[in-house]
Amino acid sequence: MTGIMSINGEADGGPLRVGLPVVDMVTGLNAVIGVLLALQERQRSGRGQFVEAALYDSGLSLLHPHAANLFMDGTAPRRTGNAHPNIYPYDALATGTDPVFVAVGNDRQFASLCRCIGLPDLAEDPLYRTAGARSVHRDGLKQRLEAAMAAFDGRALVDQLMAAGVPAAPVLPVADALQHPHTLHREMVVEMPGDYRGIGAPVKLSRTPASYRHAPLTPGNAFLPVDDSAKH
């Protein structure tokens, strides 16, 4: 009902459910933000108030940039697959191995991308020289980029692009993402007694960081307390 499914999916396909419960999760975050806003206001007024965060409202709030585009010129949003509706190349592109996602947001980044894949002159082509032109001629541009990128190992190319200032990432399966060195560096996988593994807290506080004292309870499993003095 909020329009999210209508703009999600491949350009030549039908509406597609997002692969995770994004509206539920964002509504939870909005509820937390609302509570924090109310607590801040209470410091001034001394009064409480009712905080509401609805799934429907939160779903509508996610329609960026599609709602803004519609309000601006009345053009109905359309499905664009992995590509950004306004910017190109901001898309998943095939390589000789894994696909990579590039997020080229300006002309400088586009020129750097072209140099990295051996097409320096492409950045001067009138069809692709500006952000607006690249968005209009995206189909032809994607074909030329992928033809050149077919000679590259995807993950090695990502390292080269990032070093050149071009935002890029490999399109990782979930298992690879959970084992990635940066995931471990950020302490985003939690291991606890009883062979429990889960996702860590994404909010990092310098003075009062998250601590993990017991695993989620499941039917048939007893509560397993963990020493509060230890951070796991």
Which residue ranges make up each domain of the chain?
A: 5-73, 90-171, 187-232
* Among the four given CATH numbers 2.60.40.10, 3.30.1540.10, 3.80.10.10, 3.40.718.10, the one describing domain 90-171: 3.30.1540.10
- Provide the residue-wise pLDDT of the chain in tens; the chain has 232 residues: 999 999 999 999 999 999 999 999 999 999 999 999 999 999 999 999 999 999 999 999 999 999 999 999 998 999 999 999 999 999 999 999 999 999 999 999 999 999 999 999 999 999 999 999 999 999 999 999 999 999 999 999 999 999 999 999 999 999 999 999 999 999 999 999 888 999 999 999 999 999 998 888 766 655 555 555 544 4
Neighbours of 32 (CB within 10 A): 13
Q: Is the peptide bond before 85 cis (omega within 30 degrees of 0)?
A: no
**pLDDT by residue (tens digit) across 155-185?**
999 999 999 999 999 999 999 999 999 999 9
Q: Are 79 and 72 in contact (CB under 8 A)?
A: no
Rounded Cα–Cα distance for residues 16 and 8 (Å): 5
Q: Which residues are known to be catalytic?
A: 24
Q: Are 125 and 144 in contact (CB under 8 A)?
A: no
What pLDDT does residue 194 have?
81
Cα–Cα separations (whole angstroms), residue 154 to 51, 114, 168, 195: 46, 15, 10, 34
How much helix, strand and coil, in percent to the nearest 5, is found in the chain?
40, 10, 50
